[in-house]
């Protein structure tokens, strides 16, 4: 009976090798589950961080691209305005020699239909049909001398300028036109155009300086057109009319919307009437075109650059300063998701590779368990430790292949997975560094090299809490360059740039321990901190002494003699409720200095 009982117990006992195999199998399954869970957690963490980083990077990069496009467009429009300002100033100079110019002038008739298409010609037009060429003889002869000024400007910009003209207060309109071929006026008769009722003339007679009309489609089919004008005066300073030109901005419009932001992205322009400016359609509302709510459209045309997120993507926009338009770009969300999906694919591939390798090892373990149970146990324990270290975040750890078999293959695959994860993290880091570099470019003034208004706003926002706590004294210095416009008009904008750069270099040298920002065309501000805050009075004396040195240096050119008004204010928690209060006091002090300098010159 006893022997039978023992035999029954032995028959029901699991052999040790099978127990080792089962234990090995259970251990491997547990390790597989832990590694799989850790991989999932790592994947979710990396995915979340990568999506956030990519979104922020794209926001900064795209905003910088759209702002750069807006700045480039403003420069083009400013150059067009400079042409008209030059013509206005030239006409004013002509009045000083009116009699001689009349004598040297020639007769200019009405538009001649026989003029070949596209050929510029000087023409005469009257505001009223009762005005004759004889009535306007002196005006015709006087203004015929303009051809030598209008011709080179028009020919240099023949793809842009369609017509240049002057609306005089006498009712005579001389023009340099390349559309005479479209005239319906019979030869010898007077062309009549009552420009006194035109928007460009009425605007020019009440404005002081260059102005831009709203966009319109020219009645002669010359494309998207704006009129740029500027009033001109006689030698007595009396406004005598308006110099103007019609600009076909079709090419400029195409440049404005030529933003390569990725597949599915597109650009467009919105005017102040909340309508999309388009070559193909007129009067399409921005809400209809984009599907955005009215409040979102109002935000886009608010006059500042911005970023607007939607369910399907985001909009990046930046306004133009010369005309009331806003450049807007739409970027679909799949551009961000596409980059994140690459990360997902890499991680999933690593996980699947790991699982596949583990399954292979399990199958082999069943086959050779009876002979290799002991030899397998120890390497598997070491491999499990490697996996645990990696799962805890130590991606620098390398799993050593202890044997040249499937277990060693498993170690290699684990290392491959870690290498792929490290490569993914490296790419994310490169993306962030590129985004930081773009942000740095966007925050620098291209002329002087100091930080710009955008960087100033961000700097104040970052340090506002520290400044207002009173733990560290701070203040503002405001500097405004004198005579910049006079230098630009007299010697050219390149000399004005020399003046700006020299002032900036002087400010940076004197206030060497504080950040300097260019916040306007001719305005700089210094945020006083540390040593400069304590030594402000001495630094002001040093600044004034440096300007006196420039003024007395006879070897300097006029555009090298820097003259500027300066004022400062230090934070006082008794009277200042905000950083803006300190800034305003510094600005007021600067203007007081400017007024004293002006009074001294007079």
**Tens digit of pLDDT for each residue in 247-297?**
988 888 888 888 887 788 888 899 888 888 876 666 788 888 888 989 999
| Class of residue 254 by CB neighbours under 10 A (exposed 0-12, middle 13-18, buried 19+) | exposed
Q: Of 247, 255, 224, which Cα lies nearest the Cα of 327?
A: 255
Confidence (pLDDT) at 91: 97
pLDDT in tens, 353-392: 766 766 776 667 656 656 666 566 666 667 777 777 877 7
479: helix, strand or coil: strand
Yes or no: say if 373 and 20 are a contact pair by the CB < 8 Å rule.
Answer: yes
Three-state SS at 328 = strand
Put the strands of the sheet holding 313-319 in their side by side order.
Answer: 276-277, 266-271, 325-332, 313-319, 306-309
- As a whole-number percent, the residues of the chain with pLDDT over 90 amount to 46
Per-residue pLDDT reduced to its tens digit, 430-465? 656 655 556 566 789 999 999 999 999 999 999 988
Whole-angstrom distance, CA of residue 461 vs CA of residue 469: 14
Percentage of the chain surpassing pLDDT 70? 80
Burial class of 66 by CB neighbour count within 10 A (0 to 12, 13 to 18, 19+): buried
Say if residue 137's pLDDT is above 90: yes
Q: Could you say which DSSP state residue 451 is in?
A: B
Q: Token pair of 274, please?
A: 């909340």
Region 38-50 average pLDDT: 66
> Which residues, other chains included, contact 440 with Cβ-Cβ below 8 Å and sequence gap of 6+?
none
Q: What is the reported pTM?
A: 0.50
Run of H or E residues at 232: strand 224-233
**Which residue in 561, 566, 522 sits closest to 543, CA to CA?**
566
Long-range own/partner contacts, residues 410-415 (CB < 8 A, 24 or more apart): 410/357, 410/358, 410/360, 410/361, 410/383, 411/383, 411/386, 413/353, 413/354, 413/357, 414/354, 414/357, 414/383, 414/386, 414/387, 414/390
For 136, list phi and psi in degrees, rounded to 5.
-105, 20
From CA 151, how far away is CA 441, in angstroms rounded? 40
What residues pair up with 328 in beta bridges, in sequence order? 268, 317
pLDDT score of 100: 96
In this prediction, residue 334 has a pLDDT band, given cuts at 50, 70 and 90, of: confident
What are the structural domains, with CATH classification, of the chain?
16-65+335-441 (no CATH), 105-252 (3.30.450.20), 257-332 (3.30.450.20), 453-601 (3.30.70.270)
Q: How far apart are CA 239 and CA 241, in angstroms?
A: 6
* Residue that the structure tokens 């979104």 belong to: 55
**d(Cα 568, Cα 479) in Å, to the nearest integer?**
9
The answer on pLDDT for 8 being more than 70 is: no
Q: What is the mean pLDDT of residues 561-584?
A: 94
For residue 422, give both structure tokens.
């490290």
What stretch of H or E contains 269? strand 266-271
The whole-angstrom separation of Cα 357 and Cα 136 is: 97
The alpha carbon of residue 572 and the mean position of all alpha carbons in its chain are separated, in whole angstroms, by 36
**What φ, ψ does residue 83 adopt, rounded to 5°?**
-60, -50
């Amino acid at each position: 009976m006893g022997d039978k009982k023992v035999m029954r117990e032995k028959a029901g006992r699991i052999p040790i090798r099978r127990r080792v195999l089962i234990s090995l199998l259970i251990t491997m399954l547990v390790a597989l589950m832990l590694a799989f869970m850790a991989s999932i957690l790592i994947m979710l963490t990396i995915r979340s961080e990568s999506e956030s980083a990519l979104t922020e990077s794209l926001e900064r990069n795209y905003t910088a691209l759209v702002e750069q496009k807006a700045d480039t467009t403003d420069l083009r429009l400013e150059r067009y305005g400079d042409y008209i300002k030059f013509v206005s100033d030239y006409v004013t100079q002509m009045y000083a020699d009116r009699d001689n110019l009349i004598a040297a002038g020639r007769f200019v008739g009405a538009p001649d239909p026989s003029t070949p298409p596209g050929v510029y010609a000087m023409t005469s037009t009257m505001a009223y049909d009762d005005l004759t060429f004889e009535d306007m003889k002196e005006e015709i002869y006087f203004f015929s001398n303009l051809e030598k000024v209008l011709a080179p400007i028009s020919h240099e910009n023949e793809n842009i300028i369609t017509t240049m003209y002057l609306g005089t207060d006498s009712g005579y309109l001389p023009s340099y036109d390349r559309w005479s071929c479209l005239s319906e006026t019979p030869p010898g008769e007077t062309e009549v155009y009552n420009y006194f009722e035109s928007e460009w003339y009425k605007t020019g007679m009440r404005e002081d300086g260059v102005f831009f009309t709203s966009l319109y489609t020219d009645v002669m089919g010359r494309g998207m057109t704006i009129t740029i004008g500027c009033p001109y005066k006689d030698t007595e300073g009396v406004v005598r009319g308006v110099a103007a030109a019609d600009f076909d901005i079709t090419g400029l419009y195409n440049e404005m919307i030529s933003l390569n932001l990725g597949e599915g992205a597109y650009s467009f322009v919105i005017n102040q009437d909340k309508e999309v400016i388009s070559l193909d359609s007129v009067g399409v509302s921005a809400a209809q075109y984009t599907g955005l709510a009215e409040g979102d459209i109002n935000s886009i045309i608010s006059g500042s650059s911005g970023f607007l997120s939607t369910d399907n993507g985001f909009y990046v926009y930046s306004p133009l300063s010369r005309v009331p338009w806003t450049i807007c770009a739409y970027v679909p969300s799949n551009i961000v998701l596409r980059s994140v999906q690459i990360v997902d694919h890499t991680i999933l591939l690593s996980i699947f590779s790991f699982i596949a390798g583990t399954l292979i090892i399990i199958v082999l373990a069943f086959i050779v368990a009876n002979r290799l149970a002991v030899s397998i146990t120890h390497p598997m324990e070491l491999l499990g430790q490697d996996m645990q270290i990696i799962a805890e975040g130590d991606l620098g750890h390398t799993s050593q292949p202890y044997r040249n078999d499937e277990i060693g293959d498993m170690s290699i695959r684990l290392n491959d997975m870690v290498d792929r994860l490290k490569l993914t993290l490296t790419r994310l880091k490169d993306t962030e560094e590129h985004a930081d570099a773009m942000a740095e470019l966007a925050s620098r003034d291209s002329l002087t090299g100091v930080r710009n208004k955008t960087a100033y706003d961000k700097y104040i926002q970052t340090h506002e809490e520290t400044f207002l706590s009173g733990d560290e004294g701070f203040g503002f210095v405001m500097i405004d360059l004198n005579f910049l416009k006079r230098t630009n008009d007299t010697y050219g904008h390149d000399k004005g740039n020399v003046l700006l750069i020299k002032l900036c270099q002087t400010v940076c040298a004197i206030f060497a321990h504080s950040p300097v920002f260019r916040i306007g065309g001719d305005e700089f501000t210094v945020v006083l901190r540390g040593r400069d805050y304590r030594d402000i009075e001495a630094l002001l004396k040093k600044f004034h002494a440096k300007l006196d040195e420039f003024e007395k240096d006879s070897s300097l050119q006029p555009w090298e003699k820097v003259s500027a008004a300066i004022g400062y204010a230090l934070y006082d928690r008794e009277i200042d409720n905000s950083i803006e209060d300190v800034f305003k006091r510094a600005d007021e002090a600067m203007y007081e200095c400017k007024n004293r300098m002006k009074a001294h010159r007079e």
